[in-house]
Amino acid sequence: MNDLRWIHVTGPHGDGVVCEQGAHVADWTPAEHAPVLFLSGASRMEPGSPIRGGVPVIFPWFGEDPEDRGRPAHGFARRLPWDVVETAEGPDGVRVSLQLADDEETRRMWPHRFALRLEAVFGAALEMSLRVENRDDAPLRFEEALHTYLAVGDVREAKLRGLEGTTYVDKLDGFARRTSGDEPLVFDREIDRVYLGTDATCRVDDPVLGRTLTVAKEGSRSTVVWNPWIDKAARLDDLDDDDWMAMLCVESGNVADDAITLAPGESHVIRVTITAA
């Protein structure tokens, strides 16, 4: 049976799970806390299908195929098997490293040579890094994101701080560009926004679970905030109808205006640190 392969990590400060497909962090449960990442119970768990929840690795484009050629939404990296490079106990927790390099299949979809490396440290914090290397002899332009699904008690009671006064693209209103107000973000409808030019740390206050989740980042200028709300959740067959209440995507990447261009041989790293308190 051609099943997905999983790496289970346990440590004194927290446990985690990574799927080799997509180097997909599927769970992080710090000691003394409930799981910090949302994972859909209805997710397809089969080779080639994106996992709904956790931290999908989005590369080399964000959203629909930019050339409208029918290539997979959010790129191909999350659908392919990565190679496990290392699993090692360290001072901050257990580190798992995986890599993906171009091959005939990726070059048919995207004619470039590259290498990706995803590292995740599962401890009192979840530390993730995504390194992109240009192995081509021409410049490499790409979008990327660590598409984090946070677990919340009830999104209607949550507040997101850190994106006040920030320009965003509203994907629900013809990609119109707006600037957010001075108040924390609250959730009473579907939201799908790409905040641009921001390296801000985001904090999600969750009064239902009695915690604040912090998403700090380096090397990322875009933050995407998404909740499907009732109607879109009902249309997604890999999400249970009420799951919209239990999740909030706070994604760290480089999208649209913030896309990255690397010279031959150059590399770029995004780092994301998630904590619960």
The catalytic residues are 147, 251
Least gap, CB of 164 to ligand TA6 (angstroms): 20
CA 137 to mean position of chain CA atoms: 29
Residue with tokens 């912090």: 214
Residue with tokens 């640190």: 273
Q: Is 54 in the site for ligand TA6 (CB under 6 A)?
A: no
Residue choice 40, 55, 74, 142 for contact with ligand TA6 (CB under 6 A): 74
Q: Is 244 in the site for ligand TA6 (CB under 6 A)?
A: no
**Phi, psi for 124 (deg, rounded to 5):** -70, -20
Residues 6+ apart with CB under 8 A from 79: 21, 22, 48, 49, 50, 72
Least gap, CB of 251 to ligand TA6 (angstroms): 6
Pairing mode, strands 159-161 and 6-9: unpaired
Least gap, CB of 210 to ligand TA6 (angstroms): 26
Longest pairwise C-alpha distance within the chain: 53
Pairing mode, strands 159-161 and 93-101: unpaired
Nearer to ligand TA6, 133 or 192 (CB): 192
Nearer to ligand TA6, 192 or 258 (CB): 192
Q: Using CB under 6 A, count the residues that bind ligand TA6.
A: 11
Residue 152's Cβ-count burial label (10 Å; 0-12, 13-18, 19+) is: buried
Residue choice 251, 254, 258, 272 for contact with ligand TA6 (CB under 6 A): 251
Q: Is 249 in the site for ligand TA6 (CB under 6 A)?
A: yes
Q: For 208, left (φ over 0), alpha (ψ -120 to 50), or beta?
A: alpha
Q: Is 206 in the site for ligand TA6 (CB under 6 A)?
A: no
Residue choice 224, 250, 260, 262 for contact with ligand TA6 (CB under 6 A): 224
Least gap, CB of 56 to ligand TA6 (angstroms): 6
Residue choice 95, 171, 268, 271 for contact with ligand TA6 (CB under 6 A): 171
CB 143 within 8 A of CB 132: no
Nearer to ligand TA6, 124 or 130 (CB): 130
Task: Show the binding pattern over residues 138-167: x = contacts ligand TA6 (CB under 6 A), - = does not.
Answer: ---------x--------------------
Question: Is residue 25 classed as helix, strand or coil in its secondary structure?
Answer: strand
Q: Facing residues of 114 across strands?
A: 134
**Phi, psi for 230 (deg, rounded to 5):** -70, -55
Residue choice 73, 138, 186, 277 for contact with ligand TA6 (CB under 6 A): 73
Tokens of 245: 């209440």
Nearer to ligand TA6, 11 or 63 (CB): 63
Q: Can you give the binding site for ligand TA6, defined by CB under 6 A? A: 50, 63, 73-74, 147, 171, 192, 224, 226, 249, 251
